[in-house]
Every structure is written in structure tokens, then in C-alpha cells.
Structure 1
Amino acid sequence: MNRDEAGGNWKQFKGKMKEKWGKLTDDDLTVVEGKRDQLVGKIQERYGYAKDQAEKEVSDWEANNRDYRW
């Protein structure tokens, strides 16, 4: 996969993430930019979740979006 394909995939998954976690802003997702631990932290911050709950949500999302690779 070249850089353009990876960038296009990230844009696609950003949209899916915003569908799932609507409280995440474009700026949040720019910071996350494919980093799983950053995504968990932003979900905790925006939703007030404990780390375990945010981790579970991300794991569940990953299971339903197997095409995405961190």
C-alpha cells in the first residue's frame, strides 16, 4: 500500500469513527491519525469513559472494521 492509499483509507475510517463517536472532532481525529492509544484517550476525554470502557469500544469497533490496520 502506498502513501496515497494509506491516506485515503485513513479518511474513510475517520468517517466511520465519526459515525460511531460523534463527539470526536476533526481536530481530535487529526491528533489520533491512526494511533490506537490516542483514539482511546480521546474517547475517554470526550465521553467521560473509564479507560477499560474506551478500550472495549475501540476493540468492538476494530472487530467490525477488520479492514483497518493500526
Structure 2
Amino acid sequence: MDWNRVEGNWKQVKGKVKEQWGKLTDDDLDQIAGRRDQLEGKIQERYGIEKDRVRREVDDWYGRQAL
């Protein structure tokens, strides 16, 4: 996967991320700035789920995006 596309289009992608993980705040999304490790960490923090599950969820979400 080429996560660089997400980073490069972060302003457009933020809305889609927020649709998927609504507990993330605008401040969270600004802080993440497209970095996958930051996104996964914030999802873990907000939802209290384990790292492996978060990674799978992000992979699934990314696979559904038309970037």
C-alpha cells in the first residue's frame, strides 16, 4: 500500500477518516497530519482497542478508498 497518497491528500481525506472514526476530533486530525502511526495511535486511544485490530481496520478502510 502507498500511504503517501493519504499524506499528500490529507485535507481531502480527513472527512473520510472522521466518517469512519467519529470519536477523533478536528484537533486530533490536524495533529495526525496524514501519518499512519499517529492515526493508529489516536484510534487506539479514543476507542480502546488493541494495536493489531486497529491496523486491520485502517488497512480495510484504506482498501475501500479511491485515492
TM score, norm. by length of structure 1: 0.80
| Shift >6 Å, 4+ stretches | none
SS of residue paired to 2:58: helix
Q: Distance in 2 between matches of 1:29 and 1:21?
A: 11
Post-superposition offset of 1:11: 1.8
Q: Which amino acid aligns with 1:40?
A: E
Number of matched residues? Answer: 62
Aligned residue in 2 for 1:41: 41
- Bigger Cα displacement from structure 2, 58-67 vs 16-25: 58-67
Q: Which stretches in structure 2 are left out of the alignment for 5+ residues?
A: 1-6
**Alpha carbon RMSD of aligned pairs, Å?**
2.0
Q: TM-score, normalised by structure 2?
A: 0.83
Matches within 5 A, 1:43-58: 43-58=43-58
Alignment of 1:1-70 (within 5 A): 9-67=9-67
Provide the identity percentage: 62
Report Cα offsets for 1:13-52 as digits up to 9, x if no partner: 0000000000000111111101001000000000001001
Separation in 1, partners of 2:25, 2:8? 19
Q: Name the structure, 1 or 2, with higher relative contact order (CA <8 Å, separation 6+).
A: 2
Structure showing greater radius of gyration is: 1
